[in-house]
Amino acid sequence: AMVVLGIVALLLATVLGHILSGRAMVPLREAYEKQRQFAADASHELRTPLAVVMASADLLENDPSITSPFLKQVIADVRDEVKKMTRLVSDLLLVARSDNKALKLKLQKFDAAELLSQTARLMQPLADKKHIALDIRNCDAHVIQADEQKIKQLMLILVDNAVKYTPDGGEVHVGFEKAPQGRVRFFVQDTGIGIAKEDQRRIFDRFYRVDKARSREMGGNGLGLSIAQEIVNLHQGSIEVTSTLGKGTRFTVELRTKAKAKTA
């Protein structure tokens, strides 16, 4: 019996040692890496055929020989769906690549306050359509060193969501506020539908949408906030949400004045 016990103990020790040394994790990591690479390759390969379908739909849309209202509607529908899919594919590609950390920051100096008011103004036509008052406040110069293109994408995601999830006649406020030393902080606040407490943590997950039908109707795919989170992480900043259901939502982003180039 002692011999059997000894063998069992030895086996246990070996298995434990294996797990503790991290070697058991290798197949899991490899599988994850394969899956990520597959997502990146698939979305990349989908871009070309989608562009071809889009160009064909454009051709049909402008063809004067097509006069049937029914056909015109079908073509418009195809175009709309292809447009959505193109966005989804490019978002997917970004997400899959960022996992790979192949996503590198192009650091440069720019005025983040100016960028925020520019980006918010891009959404003005959409806000006007819904009679939403878009208010840009406290945008004195805040020069930071970061990836301007990505920070713009981050701002766009937040302002776009604020307008999307605010009913007609509401308000969207964007602006800067005081942040502790060496950091800048901006916010995007709306008087929209709000997000329930239990959903607030999950909205940053990929493909998570509180109301799938509503989000889809608005052209959403549930990737926006996960991309926003990724951009913030790459800059070693933070993003927070506070929200009251039926009252409105506020997203606050804090960034370093000088982002460090991430190597890993």
Q: Which residues bind ligand ADP (CB under 6 A)?
A: 157, 161-162, 165, 190, 192-195, 203, 208-211, 215, 220-226, 249
Task: Supply the minimum distance, in Å, between the C-beta of residue 74 and ligand ADP.
Answer: 26
Task: Supply the minimum distance, in Å, between the C-beta of residue 137 and ligand ADP.
Answer: 18
Task: Supply the minimum distance, in Å, between the C-beta of residue 210 and ligand ADP.
Answer: 3
The smaller minimum CB distance to ligand ADP, of residues 6 and 246, is found at: 246
The smaller minimum CB distance to ligand ADP, of residues 86 and 221, is found at: 221
Task: Supply the minimum distance, in Å, between the C-beta of residue 149 and ligand ADP.
Answer: 18
The smaller minimum CB distance to ligand ADP, of residues 117 and 215, is found at: 215
Residue 151 exposed, middle or buried by CB count within 10 Å (0-12, 13-18, 19+):
buried
The smaller minimum CB distance to ligand ADP, of residues 173 and 209, is found at: 209
